[in-house]
C-alpha cells in the first residue's frame, strides 16, 4: 500500500510522521512507534489509515421488539457496532413485574427479563457480523449468557461472537449506583466471567473498565483515567488471585472513556492513559503479550455537557467531542444525539449522530495519518502533565489499600464530588461559559416534541413474564437455580449453571436473587 496520500492542494500526507519533531520529547521512551510499547501514539501501527474506528450507536428503549427495529435502522444506516442500553430494573437484576421496578420498565433502556426478550431484541440481526456492546454491570454475566444462547439458536458459535460487556462494578460503587453484591463477591463474578470467556467466547471483551460515568459525575480528566486504571489494577489482581494467567485474560480487557469539548486536554488524556497502562501491565504484572499491555478503549461523547436549552447546539459540541476522541486514537465511538438532554433520542437525532461520525471518517483528513498531534510542544507537554497528575492519584488509591479499600473509605467519591462542586460554582458564577445556559441565552425556546415511552409497556412485559412462568418447566428451573446457589457457595465457576438456568427460561431477576441469597447485597457505608 502506498504510504502517502494527498491533501486538497495535492500535497503529500504521510501515513506516519516521526523523527525530527519528536527528539525533544525522548521519543523512544515516551512515545515509541504506533502499535509498539508504550503505545502513546496508538495501539495499532496503521490506526485509521487502514480503516476507521467502529461506529457505535447506543440505543435501547421500551420493549425488545421496539429496540430491535431501531437496531435494524442503525445497521441499515451504516453502523458497524450496536451498543445496548438496558432499563434500570434490568441493570439492577430485577424483573419487570417486581414492585421495585414499577414505573421504570423500559424508561432508560430496553427491558430484558428472559431469553425470550433477548431473542426478540436481536431477531434478524447478523450476530456473527456485528460487534455488540452491552452497557450492563452487576448482572453482566447474565446478559452475556443470554446473548450467547440466542446466538447459538442462530447457529453462531461462541468463537464467532465479538463485542464487549461493560461488567465494571467498581465504578458503580464510586459514581453510578447500579451495584447488587458486595465488592468481594462482585470481583468473584467478574473473575468467573474472565475464565468462562477465555474458554467459550475468546473474541469477546470481558470487561469495559469505565471512566465515563465518573467523568459524568464530575471527575477531571486526570481523575477519570487515574481512578479507572486503579479499578483495572484491582480486576487484574482478582483474576490472578483466582488462578488465571495475566496473558490469558488481559488481551480482552477494554476501557471506556468520555470525550469532552476541551479538545486538547482530551487528546492528551487518551495518550497518557495508554502509556500508563502499558507500563503498569508490563512492570507491575509481568504481562509479556503486547496485547495485554494495550489500552483499547471505546469513547462516548459527554452526555453531561449536552444542554436542554438550544439543543441543536449540541450537534456542534458532539462533533468537537467526537473529533477529540478520534485524534486521541479511540477504537470505537458513540456520538450522542442532540436531543438526549430532553428525552430518549428520536430516530432523526440518532441518524444525525451517526452521520457526525461518518463526516469525521470520510470527509476530513484526520484519518490519513497516525497520531496527528505527535511532536506538538503543547500536546506532548499536556500528555506528560496528565500522566504525572494521574499517577499521583493512582498512588493515592494504592496508599489506601487499593481500589476496593479506597472505595470503602469514600476516597474516589469524595474527590469527584469536590471537582463537581467546583465546576458547578464556575458555571453559576459565569467563570465557565456554557452556551445557551449562562451566556447567549434565548428569551424563548423553540418547541420540541420528545420521544416518549408508552406506559403500557410495563403491563405488557408483566403479562409476558406471567405467561413464561406458566409455560416453562418450573421444577427444572428450580433445580437449575439450586445448582447456581451451590456453585456460588463453593469455588466452582458460576457461569455454567447460570447458563443452564437461563436456557430453561429462568429470568434475570430469578438468577440475581439466587446469587443474592448466597452473597447478600451491598449497603454503602454512608447510608448505614
83 closest CA partner among 116, 52, 120, 54: 54
Q: Indicate if the pLDDT at residue 23 is higher than 70.
A: no
Model confidence at 60, pLDDT cuts 50, 70, 90, reads low
Output the pTM of the full model.
0.89
Set of cell numbers at residue 474: 418450573
Domain boundaries of the chain, sorted by first residue: 15-428
Lowest-confidence segment of 24-28, 120-124, 440-444, 448-452 by average pLDDT: 24-28
Domain 15-428 bears CATH identifier 2.60.40.60: no
Model confidence at 204, pLDDT cuts 50, 70, 90, reads very high
pLDDT of res. 193: 96
pLDDT of res. 1: 44
Reported as half-sphere exposure (CB side, CA atoms, 13 A), residue 65 has a value of 4
Report residue 13: phi and psi, to 5°.
-120, 115
Angstrom distance (rounded) from CA 361 to CA 64: 31
Model confidence at 300, pLDDT cuts 50, 70, 90, reads very high
Query: How high does pLDDT run on average in the chain?
Result: 92
Angstrom distance (rounded) from CA 498 to CA 511: 7
Model confidence at 443, pLDDT cuts 50, 70, 90, reads confident
Tell me if residue 153 falls in helix, strand or coil: helix
Model confidence at 76, pLDDT cuts 50, 70, 90, reads confident
Angstrom distance (rounded) from CA 141 to CA 342: 32
Angstrom distance (rounded) from CA 359 to CA 486: 53
CB-count exposure of residue 496 (10 Å: 0-12, 13-18, 19+) = middle
Reported as half-sphere exposure (CB side, CA atoms, 13 A), residue 56 has a value of 28
Averaged pLDDT for residues 456-477: 96
The answer to whether the beta carbons of residues 456 and 251 sit under 8 Å apart is no
Model confidence at 79, pLDDT cuts 50, 70, 90, reads confident
pLDDT of res. 225: 98
Give 166-192 pLDDT, tens digit per residue: 999 999 999 989 999 999 999 999 999
Give 102-126 pLDDT, tens digit per residue: 999 998 889 999 999 999 999 999 9
Terminal Cα distance for the chain, rounded: 63
Concatenate the DSSP letters of all residues of 422-483 into one string. Answer: HHHHHHHTTSS--BTTTBS--SSPPP---B---THHHHHHHHHHHHHHHHS-HHHHHHHHHH
Angstrom distance (rounded) from CA 31 to CA 464: 55
The answer to whether the beta carbons of residues 76 and 126 sit under 8 Å apart is no
pLDDT of res. 27: 59
Model confidence at 347, pLDDT cuts 50, 70, 90, reads confident
Set of cell numbers at residue 195: 475464565
Residue that has been written with the C-alpha cell 447456581 in this structure = 484
| Percentage of the chain lying above the pLDDT 90 cut | 80
Rg of the chain in Å (alpha carbons):
23
Amino acid at each position: 500500500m502506498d504510504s502517502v496520500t494527498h491533501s486538497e492542494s495535492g500535497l503529500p500526507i504521510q501515513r506516519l510522521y516521526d523523527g525530527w519533531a519528536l527528539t525533544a520529547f525522548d521519543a523512544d521512551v515516551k512515545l515509541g512507534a504506533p502499535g509498539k510499547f508504550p503505545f502513546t501514539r496508538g495501539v495499532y501501527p496503521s490506526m485509521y489509515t487502514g480503516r476507521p474506528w467502529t461506529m457505535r450507536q447506543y440505543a435501547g428503549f421500551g420493549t425488545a421488539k421496539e429496540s430491535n427495529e431501531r437496531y435494524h435502522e442503525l445497521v441499515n444506516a451504516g453502523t458497524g457496532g450496536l451498543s445496548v442500553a438496558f432499563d434500570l430494573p434490568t441493570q439492577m437484576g430485577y424483573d419487570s413485574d417486581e414492585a421495585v421496578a414499577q414505573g421504570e420498565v423500559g424508561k432508560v433502556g430496553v427491558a430484558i427479563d428472559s431469553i425470550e426478550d433477548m431473542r426478540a431484541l436481536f431477531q434478524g440481526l447478523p450476530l456473527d457480523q456485528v460487534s455488540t456492546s452491552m452497557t450492563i454491570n452487576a448482572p453482566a454475566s447474565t446478559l452475556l449468557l443470554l446473548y450467547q444462547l440466542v446466538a447459538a439458536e442462530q447457529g453462531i458459535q461462541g468463537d464467532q461472537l465479538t463485542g464487549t460487556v461493560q461488567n465494571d462494578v467498581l465504578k458503580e460503587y464510586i459514581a453510578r449506583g447500579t451495584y447488587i453484591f458486595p465488592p468481594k463477591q462482585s470481583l468473584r463474578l467478574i473473575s468467573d466471567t474472565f475464565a468462562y470467556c477465555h474458554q467459550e467466547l475468546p473474541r469477546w471483551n470481558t470487561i469495559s473498565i469505565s471512566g465515563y460515568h465518573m467523568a459524568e459525575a464530575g471527575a477531571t480528566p486526570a481523575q477519570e483515567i487515574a481512578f479507572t486504571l486503579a479499578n483495572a489494577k484491582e480486576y487484574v489482581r482478582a483474576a490472578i488471585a483466582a488462578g488465571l494467567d495475566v496473558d490469558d485474560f488481559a488481551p480482552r480487557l477494554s476501557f471506556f472513556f468520555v470525550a469532552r469539548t476541551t479538545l486538547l486536554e482530551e487528546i492528551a488524556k487518551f495518550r497518557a492513559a495508554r502509556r500508563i497502562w502499558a507500563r503498569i501491565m508490563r512492570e507491575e504484572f509481568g504481562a509479556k503479550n503486547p496485547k495485554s499491555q494495550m489500552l483499547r478503549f471505546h469513547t462516548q461523547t459527554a452526555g453531561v455537557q449536552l444542554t436542554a436549552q438550544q439543543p441543536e447546539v449540541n450537534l456542534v459540541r458532539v462533533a468537537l467531542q467526537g473529533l477529540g476522541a478520534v485524534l486521541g486514537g479511540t477504537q470505537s465511538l458513540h456520538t450522542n444525539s442532540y436531543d438526549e438532554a430532553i428525552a430518549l433520542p428520536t430516530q432523526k437525532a440518532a441518524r444525525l449522530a451517526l452521520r457526525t461520525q461518518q463526516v469525521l471518517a470520510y470527509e476530513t483528513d484526520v484519518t490519513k495519518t497516525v497520531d496527528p498531534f505527535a511532536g506538538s510542544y503543547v500536546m506532548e507537554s499536556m500528555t506528560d502533565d496528565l500522566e504525572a497528575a494521574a499517577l499521583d492519584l493512582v498512588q493515592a488509591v494504592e496508599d489506601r489499600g487499593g481500589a476496593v479499600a479506597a472505595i470503602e473509605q469514600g476516597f474516589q467519591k469524595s474527590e469527584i464530588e469536590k471537582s463537581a462542586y467546583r465546576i458547578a460554582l464556575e458555571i453559576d458564577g459565569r467563570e465557565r461559559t456554557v452556551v445557551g445556559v449562562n451566556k447567549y441565552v434565548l428569551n424563548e425556546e423553540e418547541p420540541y416534541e420528545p420521544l416518549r415511552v408508552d406506559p403500557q409497556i410495563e403491563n405488557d412485559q408483566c403479562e409476558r413474564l406471567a405467561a413464561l412462568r406458566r409455560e416453562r418447566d418450573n421444577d427444572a428451573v428450580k433445580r437449575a437455580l439450586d445448582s447456581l446457589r451451590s456453585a456460588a457457595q463453593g469455588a466452582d465457576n458460576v457461569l455454567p449453571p447460570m447458563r443452564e438456568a437461563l436456557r430453561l427460561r429462568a429470568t434475570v431477576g430469578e438468577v440475581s436473587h439466587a446469587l443474592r441469597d448466597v452473597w447478600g447485597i451491598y449497603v454503602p457505608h454512608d447510608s448505614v
